[in-house]
Amino acid sequence: MIRFAIHAAFGVAIGSALAAQGGGKSFAVRADIVHTMAGRAIEDGIVIVRDGKITAVGKAATIRLPAGIEQKRAKVLVPGLIDAHATVGLTGHLNIPHDQDQLDSTGPVQPELRAIDAYNAHDPLVNWLRSFGITTVHTGHAPRALVAGQTMVVKTHGRSVEKDVLRPFAMIACTLGDAGRAGRGDTGGKKPGTRAKSAAMLREALLAARAYAKKCDGDDAAPVELRHEAFAAALRREVPLLVTAHRAHDLMTTLRIAKEFELDVVLDGAAEAYLLLDEIKASKCTVLPHPAMARTRGELGNATMELPKLLVDAGIPIALQSGFESYVPKSRVVLFEAGVAVSKGLADERALAALTIGAARLLGVADRIGSLEVGKDADLAWFDGDPFEYTTNCLGVMIDGVEYPGERPLHTGR
């Protein structure tokens, strides 16, 4: 932990200094394989960056480099990786009360809690994740409350939330199942005690928001109710509900409520989704499979590391996540989770899509990130080998044309 803290602090210092340089510098990154995620991979490819945007992509032999441009070399170049669900920035690396803002226990239904008001861009975990090629995270309030609060999409520059945010309000984080309920006989009035109570409370909140929206329609003088405003956005399908559920019957409850209120939902975790492949496909939901290395106990007792492969084989869209980690260092690395999924049968190209363009589409930011195309943000990560091999190192990372160091190679004694 001491070594991690020193490395993290060092990363913060370097990251801040590099970010201060701005994104106006020109670069060329050349790699043996360039995965653009907008077509076939390019052998001996090159990407040119200027003023924070991608200006050229193609085979090195066909692109003329501007005189004096700085070049980087690597084995593999990919778009900046996207963690489709995390709590980084709210779950601090110290794991002590003053840097744990992912969950407010004062009430079971709090959709008005904004991730943007709690996110700490300077937490060392943000820079740590970036060092593995993760340039964007969908982060915010954690599971373990019926409605925990909002999520957002933010880049991992580590500058400030105002400078780094892409979508300040992306989803509403909900939990159906054991994690969102109180222990038997110990509800205390603050949490639902049963699954039926959880569903009833969620329905009640949605009905109240529907009535509020109808009442306020065309009435500019109507008083604003933050809780209802958040749910009203979901009812208008401006944002989905991100529902953490693992058991098959909890997943079916989620789909039932989504159909009842005509909501968009994203299934988070979904350990037993392989029992409901037809139902989930028919719902057209996206699934964020639980992290491959999540502890298989409790609601995840029937989990399988093959879940991403099973979902993809069934034609169900997925994106990959690091999820919520209740123990130190409070954040998994989604790249490692993807590597395990690949080892359990998920095709490499499918895994990379779930970390890039697939996640970008889900999060509503594919017009800016997720693929290497002219005009998109210059978010890149380059590696000295197959990104899904544990022994591969991330050599460098770029966000909006600003270069950051990659992870320190294992042989340096990290």
Encode pLDDT of 248-300 as tens digits. Answer: 999 999 999 999 999 999 999 999 999 999 999 999 999 999 999 999 999 99
Domain holding 392: CATH number? 2.30.40.10
Tokens 């709090």 locate to 110
Nearest residue to 326 (alpha-carbon basis) of 244, 223, 213, 257: 244
Q: Using CA atoms, how far apart are residues 43 and 39, in angstroms rounded to an integer?
A: 12
5, 58: one domain: yes
Nearest residue to 92 (alpha-carbon basis) of 134, 120, 115: 120
CB 191 within 8 Å of CB 108: yes
Low-confidence winner among 168-172, 244-248, 410-414 (lowest mean pLDDT): 410-414
- The count of domains in the chain is 2
Chain CA centroid to CA 57, Å: 26
Query: For residue 222, what pLDDT band results from cuts at 50, 70 and 90?
Result: confident
Per-residue pLDDT, 19: 45
Region 217-233: mean pLDDT is: 91
CB 383 within 8 Å of CB 76: yes
> Checking phi first, is residue 209 left (phi over 0); if not, alpha (psi -120 to 50) or beta?
alpha
pTM of the model: 0.92
- Cα 142-143-146 angle, rounded to 5 deg: 120
Q: Please give the span between the terminal C-alpha atoms of the chain, in angstroms, as a whole number.
A: 12
Is the confidence at residue 384, as pLDDT, over 60?
A: yes
10, 67: one domain: yes
CB 40 within 8 Å of CB 358: no
CB 27 within 8 Å of CB 351: no
CB 175 within 8 Å of CB 145: yes
387, 362: one domain: no
Helices 348-355, 334-343: axis angle to 10 degrees equals: 160
Average pLDDT, the chain: 91
> Could you give the percent of the chain with pLDDT greater than 90?
81
Per-residue pLDDT, 187: 43
Region 69-89: mean pLDDT is: 97
Per-residue pLDDT, 3: 43
Range of the domain at 2: 1-80+370-414
Name the token pair of 342: 């690949």
Chain CA centroid to CA 255, Å: 22
313, 347: one domain: yes
Per-residue pLDDT, 77: 98
* H-run or E-run covering 79: strand 70-79
CB 122 within 8 Å of CB 158: yes
336, 411: one domain: no
Query: For residue 190, what pLDDT band results from cuts at 50, 70 and 90?
Result: confident
195, 135: one domain: yes
93, 194: one domain: yes
CB 392 within 8 Å of CB 8: no
**Residue-by-residue DSSP string for 168-213:** S---EEEE-SGGGSPPTT--TTTS-SSHHHHHHHHHHHHHHHHHHH
21, 125: one domain: no
100, 42: one domain: no
Question: pLDDT tens, 82-134?
Answer: 999 999 999 999 888 889 999 998 999 999 999 999 999 999 999 999 999 99
Question: pLDDT tens, 31-51?
Answer: 999 999 999 999 999 999 999
Helices 195-216, 226-235: axis angle to 10 degrees equals: 90
Residue at 144: amino acid letter: R
**CB within 8 A of 279, min separation 6: which ones?**
252, 255
The residues that bridge with 56 in the sheet, in sequence order, are 48
- Cα 30-335-295 angle, rounded to 5 deg: 170
CB 337 within 8 Å of CB 85: no
Per-residue pLDDT, 221: 80
**CB within 8 A of 309, min separation 6: which ones?**
341, 344, 345, 346, 347
Chain CA centroid to CA 371, Å: 16
Domain holding 149: CATH number? 3.20.20.140
**CB within 8 A of 380, min separation 6: which ones?**
29, 47, 49, 77, 78, 79, 80, 135, 372, 397, 398
Q: Residue 67: how many CB atoms within 10 A of its CB?
A: 5
Query: For residue 189, what pLDDT band results from cuts at 50, 70 and 90?
Result: low
Per-residue pLDDT, 407: 85
Counted residue by residue, the chain has a size of: 414
Name the token pair of 132: 């593995």
Q: DSSP class of residue 350?
A: H
Name the token pair of 325: 């980690």
180, 111: one domain: yes
277, 200: one domain: yes
365, 388: one domain: no
CB 145 within 8 Å of CB 228: no
